[in-house]
Amino acid sequence: MWLFNIFSNNKKAESSESLHNKESLRKMLASKRAGMEKSFVEVALSRYNEIIIITNDMEKKLDAFDNSDTGSDRIDPHLLQVLIGNKKTLSKKLHDICDILKGPMGDNKNSVINYFNSSYSILTDAVSSSIMNYRKIEDHFDKIVGPIVKDVNSIIPIMASFKKEVDNFQTKIAEIDSVENILDELDSQASRKADLQNEKLSAGGELRELENEKSSLETKLENAISSEIYKRYTKLIDEKEQAERKLEENKSKLINFISPLDKPMRKFLKLAEGDIHLKRIKDLEKFIEDHDLTKDNIALIKEIVYKMKPVVHKLELKENTVKKVVRRLEEGNLLDDIYQEKTEIIESLRSIEMEISASTPREKIEIEDSISRLESSMNSIEKELRTIENEMSLTENRIVRQMRMLEPAFKSLG
């Protein structure tokens, strides 16, 4: 794991030694690449020279082939036309091969590979087959075509050897590329890690500033809460709550008083249809539903109670219910007391609410709003920090995976 140690670093920033080791490794790879390219080009030039020598000789033989006699005085005219056509086709193919084989090849790997790709593809079985097909037509050309075929066949093994060297070179270069790609990815991940560390430091600093600001505001809030204004405000809030409870109790008192009369009054209204105005009936039904005590409702109930007293025993009520109804009818004036109490409570509640509105502790509310906004910002930063830490963990894992891939990739270079 010697390469792993080159890139392992527990410190927040890479040490100069680690950077130096990586740079040394890159230089070593560059040197290895240059050495491979030099050896490859030297061998390729040697192969190229061999091919050129054979091709030059083949061109001379092609010239003789082009100028050779077809033996027209000894061949059937129809067969002669076929022979001449095949001769021209074969000659063109062989000249094309020579032109490509004699194509320029520079002293760099790209030029070598380009030359090889174009030359190797031209030497196919189809060409050899075309030569053999031509030889079958006219055996007397064997003395001219045979040496050309021999030259072509002698180039084929040279090109096959050339192919092995190209394949081997490209494999080795791909291995170097693989190592360099790993190094590039390591650099990229290391750079991302450094960026994340800076983002974390920045977010952490911002969070500390907000925490200090919040602490300062909390001190101001404590002072605001201990002020006389706020004490008076909280007292008024308590008084308001007490008044609201009294209002609820007042309504409960009304309901307790009036509920025994709800059913009897409905029965009475059915018996008294035509004697009581329809609107009065609807008003009473509404009161029975919501028990909203007003002066008009008191007058209405008293009117109904007055008319009910003589007929209460005709309403087909249970004996206990009759007793309760009679008792409530006799206590009819209690409604005035309940209404008066309700009025006093409402007036007191309005007075308290007006004083609350005038003495609202604005400073405390503003401080609390500021603290709420700060806490929202702090939550966002804390979420951002968690995201950064998660990404840092993923980045560290990617770095470890790349480092584990690096050593076997480097060893494959030999």
* Greatest Cα pair distance in the chain: 157
- pLDDT value for 398: 84
Cα–Cα distance, 326 to 332 (Å, whole number): 10
- pLDDT value for 208: 94
User: Exposed, middle or buried by CB within 10 Å (0-12, 13-18, 19+), for 119?
Assistant: buried
Q: Considering only CA atoms, which of 24, 148, 137 is closest in space to residue 87? A: 137
| Contact status, residue 162 vs residue 120, Cβ threshold 8 Å | yes
Which residue, chain included where needed, has tokens 């028990």? Answer: 291
Neighbour count for residue 258 (Cβ, 10 Å): 20
Hey, what amino acid is at 172? K
- pLDDT value for 127: 56
- Look up residue 227 and give its DSSP letter: S
Domain ranges of the chain: 28-191, 228-360
Cα–Cα distance, 29 to 346 (Å, whole number): 92
- pLDDT value for 414: 62
Local mean pLDDT, 10-residue blocks, the chain (414 residues): 44 45 84 92 94 93 80 56 72 87 90 90 61 54 76 88 92 88 86 90 92 91 80 87 92 82 74 62 75 80 74 64 63 77 91 83 86 93 92 86 78 69
| Contact status, residue 163 vs residue 121, Cβ threshold 8 Å | no
The SS3 of residue 276 is strand
- pLDDT value for 14: 45
Q: Architecture of 28-191 per CATH?
A: Up-down Bundle (1.20)
